Amino acid sequence: MSVSRSNMATAAALHDNLGSVEPMPRRSDRKVPEKPTMEMLAAGSIAGGVSVEAAWNIYQAMLKAAS
């Protein structure tokens, strides 16, 4: 199967299943807590290579940008 046919098959499968996808939530809907746990901040700190304080600031900035 060529790349083009593969892409066409993928596009067709996605189109056929589009009705089963849930609508996107409104921008104001939050799926994360307003205040992260210490475990969340520690994980963000490690993943980003930053201090826990910086991870907290990043988290707050992301929530502000989403509102």
Each residue of 10-67: pLDDT tens digit? Answer: 888 888 887 777 777 666 666 788 899 999 999 999 999 999 999 999 999 999 988 7
Q: What is the amino acid identity at position 67?
A: S
Q: For 29, phi and psi rounded to 5 degrees?
A: -70, 130
* Helices assigned H by DSSP within 1-67: 3-16, 38-48, 52-66
The predicted model scores a pTM of 0.54
The pLDDT assigned to 27 comes to 66
The pLDDT assigned to 38 comes to 96
The pLDDT assigned to 26 comes to 67
Find out whether 45 and 55 touch, Cβ atoms under 8 Å. Answer: yes
